[in-house]
């Protein structure tokens, strides 16, 4: 085992990226919890709400989050039980069903977002001078586009209009 590996600039770099992400994640999770949401539930709420009609097919929701389809089934189960979402059958394809954000879901997201944005600003974007931030984001964009797991909003084709 070569001890020098730990000083490898690649190890340093990836360590920075993940430690920054972990620190932010922890703060996000704490704030989500104040509003009765888990990180995954918040993500689902965001993805659905930013989609046309505040809805998405289960499969598409899975593709846009880090969840598997069975994971989506279960998260939607929970959120439906809590009244944040409801399922709606797709009239044109009886295999598909849509997860739709309810008024309660929108309201919950409304309550949660201001604090969320405040945390992002306090611990991330506000830590850097504007040009520094731009440079950081440019780099991240580059990496994101390279590894792109297809998670960018709108990357999947819009759902059929009749659904």
Partner DNA sequence: GAGCAACTATAGGCATAGCAATATTCCCTG
Partner DNA sequence: CAGGGAATATTGCTATGCCTATAGTTGCTC
- Residue in 12, 15, 21, 70 binding DNA, rule: CB under 7 A: 70
Cβ atoms of residues 119 and 131 within 8 Å: no
151 contacts which partner out of DNA, a copy of itself, none, CB within 5 to 8 A by kind? a copy of itself
Part in contact with a copy of itself (CB under 8 A); list of ranges 29-37, 81-89, 92-100, 124-132: 124-132
Q: Is 128 in the site for a copy of itself (CB under 8 A)?
A: yes
Radius of gyration of the chain (CA): 19
- 148: contact with DNA by CB under 7 A: no
Query: Which pair of structure tokens corresponds to residue 135?
Result: 């440079």
Task: Say how many Å lie between the first and final Cα of the chain, rounded.
Answer: 57
Under 8 Å CB-to-CB from 69, ≥6 apart: which residues? Answer: 58, 59, 62
Residue of 88, 106, 105, 102 lying closest to 163 (CA atoms): 88
Distance from C-alpha of 109 to C-alpha of 112, rounded to nearest angstrom: 5
Given 29, 30, 89, 137, the residue binding a copy of itself (CB under 8 A): 137
Residues contacting DNA: total by CB under 7 A: 26
Alpha helices in the chain (DSSP H): 9-34, 39-49, 58-64, 69-81, 103-123, 130-147
95 binds, among DNA, a copy of itself, none (CB under 5 to 8 A by kind): DNA
138 near a copy of itself, judged by CB under 8 A:
yes
Residues that bind DNA (CB under 7 A): 38, 40, 57-59, 62, 66-78, 87, 93-98
Q: For binding to a copy of itself (CB under 8 A), which residues are involved?
A: 1, 3, 5-6, 8-14, 16-24, 26-27, 46, 49-50, 66, 106, 109-110, 113, 117, 120-121, 123-125, 127-128, 132-133, 135-144, 146-149, 151-153
């Amino acid at each position: 085992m070569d001890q020098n590996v730990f000083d490898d600039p690649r190890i340093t770099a990836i360590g920075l990226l993940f430690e920054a992400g972990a620190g932010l994640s922890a703060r996000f999770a704490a704030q989500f919890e104040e509003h009765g949401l888990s990180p995954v539930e918040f993500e689902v709420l965001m993805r659905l709400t930013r989609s046309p009609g505040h809805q998405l097919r289960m499969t598409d929701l899975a593709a846009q989050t880090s969840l598997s389809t069975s994971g989506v089934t279960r998260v939607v189960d929970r959120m439906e039980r809590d009244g944040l979402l409801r399922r709606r059958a797709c009239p044109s394809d009886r295999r598909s069903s849509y997860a739709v954000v309810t008024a309660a879901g929108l309201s919950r997201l409304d309550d949660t977002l201001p604090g969320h944005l405040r945390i992002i600003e306090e611990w991330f974007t506000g830590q850097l001078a504007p040009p520094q931030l731009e440079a950081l984001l440019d780099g991240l964009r580059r990496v994101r586009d390279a590894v792109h797991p297809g998670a960018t909003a709108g990357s999947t084709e819009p759902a059929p209009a009749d659904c």
